[in-house]
Structure 1
Amino acid sequence: MGVGVGLTILRQGLVFGTTALRRRLLVSLEVNNKDRAYEWFLAWLAHNAQSAAPTSSRRAESWLRSHQLSVETAVEQRSNGSSSVLFRLVAGPGTHWFKYGGAWMQMKRERETRSMQLMSGTPWETVTVTTLSRDRHLFSKLLTEARDLALRGQEGKLVIRTAWGIEWKPFGQPRRKRPLHSVVLDTGVSEKVEQDVKAFLQRRQWYADRGIPYRRGYLLHGPPGSGKTSYIQALAGSLSYDICLLNLSERGLGDDKLNHLLSNAPERSFILIEDVDAAFNKRVQTSEDGYQSSVTFSGFLNALDGVASGEERIIFMTTNHLGQLDPALIRPGRVDLSMLVDHASPTQARTLFTRFYGGSESVQPELVERMGQQVEELTAKEMYDGKEISMAALQGLFIRNNAQDAVKTLPELFVERRT
Structure 2
Amino acid sequence: PLLFSRLWFNVQRREKNDTHAKIDLVCSIIKGVGVALSRLKQSSTLLFDLAQLGMLVTLEISSKDRSYLWFLNWMSKQSQKNSSTNQLTAETSYHQLSDGTHEVNFALIRGPGNHYLKFCRAWFQVKRERDGKLIDLNSGTSWEILMLTLYLKIKLLVDLLKETKSCSMKTEEGKIVIYTSSGGTEWRPFGQPRTKRPLNSVVLDQGIKENLVAVIKEGLSDDKSNHLLTNVPEQSVILLEDVDAAFVGRDLVSVFYGLTSTTSQKEIFMTINHLEKLDWALIRQNRPADHRQAVTGKHHTNHTILRDKTRNQPTKLKSRSTTMSSEEANCNQNQTKHCWQAYVDHHKCKNRHGVEHDACRHFYRTFNSLCPNRWIARWDEQREAGKFPVQLDP
For the aligned pair, the TM-score class normalised by the smaller chain equals 0.5 to 0.7
Q: Which residue of the other structure, out of 267, 274, 277, is the alignment partner of 1:324?
A: 277
Taking a change above 3 Å as real, the CA distance of residues 191 and 332 of structure 1, as seen in their structure-2 partners, is farther
Q: Which residue of the other structure, out of 266, 277, 280, is the alignment partner of 2:244?
A: 277
Whole-angstrom CA distance in 2 between matches of 1:5 and 1:333: 87
The answer to whether the Cα contact below 8 Å between 2:282 and 2:289 also exists between their aligned partners in 1 is no
Residue by residue, what CA displacement relative to the aligned partner does 1:50-109 show, whole Å, maximum 9, x if unpaired?
xx3xxxxxxxx632x222111111124557664411111111111111222211110000
Identity of aligned residues (%): 41
Alignment of 1:92-131 (within 5 A): 92-131=111-150
Alignment of 1:9-408 (within 5 A): 13-49=43-79, 52=80, 62-63=82-83, 65-76=84-95, 82-134=101-153, 136-164=154-182, 165-185=184-204, 189-201=208-220, 214-215=221-222, 259-280=226-247, 283=248, 297-307=249-259, 312=264, 313-331=266-284, 336-344=289-297, 388-390=298-300
Secondary structure of residue in 2 paired with 1:328: helix
Taking a change above 3 Å as real, the CA distance of residues 331 and 200 of structure 1, as seen in their structure-2 partners, is farther
Residue by residue, what CA displacement relative to the aligned partner does 1:163-219 show, whole Å, maximum 9, x if unpaired?
131111122222221233433555654444444443335xxxxxxxxxxxx3179xx
The answer to whether the Cα contact below 8 Å between 1:274 and 1:318 also exists between their aligned partners in 2 is yes
The answer to whether the Cα contact below 8 Å between 2:70 and 2:165 also exists between their aligned partners in 1 is yes
1:144 CA drift (Å): 2.4
Whole-angstrom CA distance in 2 between matches of 1:300 and 1:8: 70
Whole-angstrom CA distance in 1 between matches of 2:190 and 2:152: 39
The answer to whether the Cα contact below 8 Å between 1:75 and 1:83 also exists between their aligned partners in 2 is yes
Residue by residue, what CA displacement relative to the aligned partner does 1:356-393 show, whole Å, maximum 9, x if unpaired?
xxxxxxxxxxxxxxxxxxxxxxxxxxxxxxxx34499x
Range 301-310 or range 34-43, more displaced: 301-310
Taking a change above 3 Å as real, the CA distance of residues 81 and 305 of structure 1, as seen in their structure-2 partners, is farther
The answer to whether the Cα contact below 8 Å between 1:77 and 1:84 also exists between their aligned partners in 2 is yes
Name the residue aligned to 1:349: none
1:261 CA drift (Å): 0.8
1:40 CA drift (Å): 1.5
Whole-angstrom CA distance in 2 between matches of 1:337 and 1:152: 36
1:132 CA drift (Å): 0.8
The answer to whether the Cα contact below 8 Å between 1:216 and 1:335 also exists between their aligned partners in 2 is no
Taking a change above 3 Å as real, the CA distance of residues 332 and 151 of structure 1, as seen in their structure-2 partners, is farther
Whole-angstrom CA distance in 2 between matches of 1:324 and 1:113: 47
What TM-score does the superposition give when structure 2 sets the normalisation length?
0.59
Gaps of 5+ in 2: 1-31, 303-394
Whole-angstrom CA distance in 2 between matches of 1:261 and 1:332: 28
Whole-angstrom CA distance in 2 between matches of 1:9 and 1:333: 83
Whole-angstrom CA distance in 1 between matches of 2:258 and 2:114: 48
Measured on the aligned residues, the alpha-carbon RMSD in Å equals 3.3
What TM-score does the superposition give when structure 1 sets the normalisation length?
0.56
Give, as a single letter, the amino acid of the residue that structure 2 aligns with 1:31: I
Secondary structure of residue in 2 paired with 1:142: helix
Secondary structure of residue in 2 paired with 1:113: strand
Larger Cα-atom Rg: 2
Whole-angstrom CA distance in 2 between matches of 1:108 and 1:333: 58
Whole-angstrom CA distance in 2 between matches of 1:81 and 1:266: 34
Gaps of 5+ in 1: 53-60, 202-213, 218-257, 284-296, 345-387, 393-419
Taking a change above 3 Å as real, the CA distance of residues 187 and 197 of structure 1, as seen in their structure-2 partners, is same
